[in-house]
Amino acid sequence: MQAIDLLIDARWVIPVNPAGRALDHHSVAVHDGRILAVLPTAQAHTAYVAGEFVSLPAHALIPGLVNLHTHAATVLMRGFAEDMAPMQWLQERFWPAESRNVSPQFVYDGTLLACAEMLRGGITCFNDMYLYPAETARAAIEMGMRAALGLVVVDTPTTYATDADDYVAKGLALRDAMREHPLLSFCMAPHAPHTVGDKTLSRLITLAEELDLPVHMQVHKTLDEIAQSVARHGVRPLERLRALGMVGPNLIAAHAIHLAPEEITLLVKNGSSVAHCPTSNLKCANGIAPVAQMLAEGVTVGLGTGGPAGNDRLDMFQEMRLAALLAKAASGDAGTLPAHRALAMATLDGARALRIDHAIGSIEPGKFADLTAVEFNALEMLPCYNPVSHLVYSAGRENVSHVWVAGRLLVENRGLKNGQKNDLEKLALLWQNRLSMETKA
């Protein structure tokens, strides 16, 4: 018998690749943080002796969920202003409060709280776009979570940087300092076409190609954004990006709601990916993305929550279910976006968009043991005929029991292993008290 670090027995192992499979009474063998084997439980107990053993008799074991688009630190402004038109919300509430309060401490504290929420909901990796990415990195590492750090760039000054050159310099310095950290990866992150000029975009395209980095950008999020582009540049944003050379395999187009058929074809031909954020899109009344058409044509579509200041939840179970339901309603076909595809969007497709699918996103030998266990024995989860369908249409983040990142147990029986819950509650209350003063001003 081979000595290994960890053996997990589960009622079902759902590897995601191959698609749609649910392996009954299987086990995952883990050693040195990576998956060594996926095999029937009876065989596993004759092949391995484990330093640690976990039995999950009423659980589905799935890959850790990948949140492909968020602004994690804005969780500190969750519910700060609700049920307002997006531009009114931004101009009158969010941006003024952000400009007065965002700091390295704000980003660090907010990201700690966001990581705790995401881990408890089965998310093991998030793709972030926000100021002070070094603080995002520090918090993610402290929580033991994977982060794809957006090296954010806009042309306007903030408390973080004075101009585009300053944003770029600070982002590249961070990447150079932390590029070898096993929990981190990096993206160029120009915020959106309307906040970044042609000169800056051209430079970022060159850098992304030289450094082989994804480009994470909000594209075609609102009709107003598109109208502004037509008025200012004579073309829609995606065509402007194409002319500049940004539409390619590096591009992760976040939101991508208002796409014409020829723009979907453009994304397909150039191998670009989309971060679909259904809850954020609906709550901001921005529209419903044509996901069924994108998938039918072959666009890689992952799922994201968007920022918690606008979405209110960092909940990938909600995003899976809503993505599937919206696609069915929009297409008029209940077979559109089946459960196994929604699960893939929340795991392997997100990893593929970030170009880290060689390391995470499915339960396969050689990949990191980023794993999420979902308990199926609650009354509201019974009976179960198809565990993959159950994950998307019946389960919620409250059913997540255990979470591992690279074989390290971070959530056990729904509780954070690092014991930070009380400290995080105090942090949230401190920022709530501070930001509450904004509503009284």
Closest residue by Cα to residue 307 from 122, 130, 100, 92: 130
Q: How many CA atoms lie within 13 A of 431 on its CB side?
A: 28
Tell me how far apart the alpha carbons of residues 299 and 302 are, in angstroms, rounded to a whole number. Answer: 10
Residue 62 · residue 372 · CB < 8 Å:
yes
Tell me how far apart the alpha carbons of residues 271 and 47 are, in angstroms, rounded to a whole number. Answer: 42
pLDDT digits 0-9 by tens, 241-262? 999 999 999 999 999 999 999 9
Residue 364 · residue 432 · CB < 8 Å:
no
Tokens, residue 340: 């196994």
**In the prediction, which pLDDT does 16 show?**
98
Residue 337 · residue 295 · CB < 8 Å:
yes
When the candidates are 3.30.110.30, 2.30.40.10, 4.10.110.10, 3.40.50.720, the CATH number that belongs to 2-63+369-406 is 2.30.40.10
Tell me how far apart the alpha carbons of residues 67 and 65 are, in angstroms, rounded to a whole number. Answer: 7
Phi then psi dihedrals of residue 413, to 5 deg:
50, 45
For the chain, give the secondary structure using H, E and C: CEEEEEEEEEEEECCCCCCCCCEEEEEEEEECCEEEEEEEHHHHHHHEEEEEEEEEEEEEEEECEEEEEECHHHHHHCCCCCCCCHHHHHHHHHHHHHHHHCCHHHHHHHHHHHHHHHHHCCEEEEEECCCCHHHHHHHHHHHCCEEEEEEEECCCCCCCCCCHHHHHHHHHHHHHHHCCCCCEEEEEEECCHHHCCHHHHHHHHHHHHHHCCCEEEEECCCHHHHHHHHHHHCCCHHHHHHHHCCCCCCEEEEECCCCCHHHHHHHHHCCCEEEECHHHHHHCCCCCCCHHHHHHHCCEEEECCCCHHHHCCCCHHHHHHHHHHHHHHHHCCCCCCCHHHHHHHCCHHHHHHCCCCCCCCCCCCCCECCEEEEECCCHHHCCCCCHHHHHHHCCCHHHEEEEEECCEEEEECCEECCCCHHHHHHHHHHHHHHHHHHHHC
Residue 78 · residue 70 · CB < 8 Å:
no
Enumerate residues 6+ apart whose C-beta is below 8 A from 78. Answer: 308, 309, 312
Evaluated on CA atoms 90, 143, 409, 36, the torsion sign reads positive
Residue 263 · residue 293 · CB < 8 Å:
no
pTM of the model: 0.96
Residues of the chain with pLDDT under 50: none
Closest residue by Cα to residue 30 from 68, 64, 76: 64
Q: Residue 283 burial (CB < 10 Å; 0-12/13-18/19+)?
A: middle
- CATH 2.30.40.10 intervals, the chain: 2-63+369-406
Q: Which fold has domain 65-353?
A: TIM Barrel (3.20.20)
Enumerate residues 6+ apart whose C-beta is below 8 A from 266. Answer: 238, 242, 247, 272
Tell me how far apart the alpha carbons of residues 16 and 24 are, in angstroms, rounded to a whole number. Answer: 14
- CATH 3.20.20.140 intervals, the chain: 65-353
The 10 Å Cβ neighbour count of residue 405 is 25
Tell me how far apart the alpha carbons of residues 144 and 275 are, in angstroms, rounded to a whole number. Answer: 24
Tokens, residue 81: 């202003």
The 10 Å Cβ neighbour count of residue 27 is 28
